[in-house]
Amino acid sequence: MPINIAVVDDHVMVREGLIQLLELDKDIKVVGQAGDGTQCLELLKNMDVDVLLLDINMPTMNGLEVLKIMRERKDNTKVIVLTIHNEVEYLVKAVDIGINGYMLKDSDSDELKKAIYCVNEGETYIQPKLSPMLNSRLINRNEDEKKIECLTRREFEVLKLLAEGMFNKEIASKLNISERTVKNHVSNIFKKITVADRTQAAVFAIKNNIITV
């Protein structure tokens, strides 16, 4: 039985090129396509799809939002994110939500087909050149989690407000504490999360989802 594939990408030429490439393989059958996230979710309601090739940057709803909804629906369709993004943050977010594969669009056809076969068999396929980057980020994230655990509840609150752009005086007013106390908390936070200034602290908070932007 062929593997039923759906291709989701807002660029028509990319989508059609992928479909033509995949249809050369007798073990793969393209059963659907979509140009945005909303169309993708509708497609999945009406078609039996084994593996979904999903772009990240799309109108109406991006690929990660689609993936999140799919997992909330308990949709067991295997998903390979196929994207131009080689930034580790996109990859980590996709892994956290629940991808089965992650490939860059400059991959060759043999590697893409290998990924499709792997995820269809229940394995996870991360493009090999991305794996060191992912592993390094996950190690760093574990270290960051330990740093966060060292923060007191009040220090965590101060870090969150600091990262949202508040000055010490505003934080003091918000938490009903003295400005001097805020300064002490900020100093302790910098030491515990090993940053040198407020900008680095804000980046730390964003990177670890303490605040969202």
Tens of pLDDT, residues 83-103: 888 777 788 888 888 899 999
Is the separation of the CB atoms in 91 and 134 below 8 Å?
A: yes
Among the residue ranges 14-18, 85-89, 195-199, the one predicted with the least confidence is 85-89
Q: What is the pLDDT of residue 69?
A: 95
Strands of the chain, DSSP E: 3-8, 28-34, 51-54, 78-83, 101-104, 125-126
CB 111, CB 95: distance < 8 Å: no
CATH number for the region 151-207 comes to: 1.10.10.10
Q: What is the mean pLDDT of the chain?
A: 90
Asked if pLDDT for residue 213 goes beyond 70, the answer is no
| Distance, CA of 123 to CA of 140 (rounded, Å) | 25
pLDDT value of residue 9: 95
Q: Is 114 a residue whose pLDDT tops 80?
A: yes
Topology match between the domains 3-134 and 151-207: no
What distance in Å separates the CA atoms of residue 163 and residue 57, rounded to the nearest whole number? 27
Does domain 3-134 fall under CATH 3.40.50.720? My reply is no
The residue ranges of every structural domain in the chain are: 3-134, 151-207
Residue 59 is predicted with a pLDDT of 84
Mean pLDDT of the 105-128 span: 91
Comparing C-alpha atoms, which of 33, 32, 28, 38 is closest to residue 61?
38
Across 41-123, the runs of DSSP E, i.e. the strands, are: 51-54, 78-83, 101-104
Residue-level pLDDT at 38: 93
Report the Cα–Cα distance between both ends of the chain, in Å, rounded: 45
Q: What is the pLDDT of residue 134?
A: 76
Three-class SS state of 104 = strand
Q: What mean pLDDT do residues 128-148 have?
A: 78
pLDDT the model gives residue 168: 95
Percent of the chain with pLDDT over 90: 69
Could you tell me the pTM of the whole model?
0.68
